[in-house]
Amino acid sequence: MGDSIILEHTVGRKVVYEGIGLHTGRNICITIHPAPPLTGIVFKRSRRFIKESVKASYENISQSVLATTIGFNGTGVSTVEHLLAAFMGCGIDNAIVEVNGPEIPIADGSAISYVKLILDAGIVPQRSSRRFLVIHSTVEVREGDAYLVAKPSPDRSLTIDYSIEFDHPLIGFQSISWSFDSKRFVREIAPARTFGFLKDASILRTKGLALGGSLDNVLVFDNHSLLNPEGFRFTDECVRHKVLDLIGDIMLLGKPVIGHFIIHKGGHRLHHKLLRKILTVLEEVYWEDVKDVVCNFAPPSNRDLFETGVSGYSSSLEFPDSNGSLLK
């Protein structure tokens, strides 16, 4: 078993990203810094002379509507889930994220720009051993026809069976069964973009939300079609994005998880409900050093990124050339 599984990892150097916030429409800058072992992911919000820190943890979720918001005494940083998914997908355990606004930039609506940023920074092993949260008994949340189940994984992996159902001709019922693997995360999950419906856009905007939303960062459906001229990246892009959101939300447990998640019609609010139940209702929660985990944390590379075929990372970022190295 290689170091990529048994050791914690952080980023190799400081990297900066600037982009628009989906809900505020403001231009926001984030800086990702390396962090010492056992830090976890910590957000630092800088506002004039005030700096506040909050750990990406289920205890600090302040809002679950439309996106995941991590709270600071009445304020917070929103839309953290795609960046958190990129950290987990790339095997980053520890990092400090400085942000100068109330939300993480939406980039192109997927996690691919953040994967690119992490690969630019480098993925560096640390001296601390990585510990896993192991689901040892079944936990369930049901609401209407939605259900979310976390149960033990017989093959000691993180497996996600996700399904969605929308009354729309281009979505309908979609399902995916996916087992965690860093390289496959980059190729199969990270490029999947967030999605929404045109009929909801004006309602969101009257509430002061989605002000930065556009066809550059959201898949938008009208009653019959997809408005984005470039079309889908995957025929089942919507359900893949749900897996992306879940991976980001699972990162709020603070450790990689070994378990089997079966989810139908989930969303952030229900994901958070399941996480709380996992940690508060389970009589026994196991934090284990790795023995026989089969999750593949072998670090992804620029080649994995290149092979996604996605050419629309945020404009400030470089593209990989055909050798997988970066054109500067």
* Residues in contact with Zn ion by the rule CB under 5 A: 194, 245
Annotated active-site positions, please? Answer: 268
Nearer to Zn ion, 194 or 217 (CB): 194
Could you give the angle at the alpha carbon of 183 between the alpha carbons of 182 and 189, nearest 5°?
80
Nearer to Zn ion, 69 or 194 (CB): 194
Burial profile 56-83: b = 16 or more Cβ within 10 angstroms, e = fewer: bbbebbbebebbbbbbbeeebbbbbbbb
The residue with tokens 């944390």 is 297
Q: How far is the CB of 100 from Zn ion (least distance, A)?
A: 22
Q: Are 8 and 129 in contact (CB under 8 A)?
A: yes
Q: Which residue type does 281 have? A: V
Nearer to Zn ion, 93 or 237 (CB): 237
Q: How far is the CB of 326 from Zn ion (least distance, A)?
A: 26
Nearer to Zn ion, 174 or 194 (CB): 194
Least Cα distance to 94 among 123, 68, 114, 135 occurs for 123
Q: How far is the CB of 50 from Zn ion (least distance, A)?
A: 28
Q: How far is the CB of 252 from Zn ion (least distance, A)?
A: 14
Give the tokens for residue 301: 């590379």
Q: How far is the CB of 67 from Zn ion (least distance, A)?
A: 7
The residue with tokens 């993180």 is 158
Give 56-110 as a DSSP string.
-SGGGEEE-SSS-EEEETTEEEB--HHHHHHHHHHT--BEEEEESSSB---TTSS
Nearer to Zn ion, 10 or 194 (CB): 194
Q: Where does residue 279 fall: left (phi above 0), alpha (psi -120 to 50 degrees), or beta otherwise?
A: alpha
Residue 39's φ and ψ, nearest 5 degrees, are -80, -40
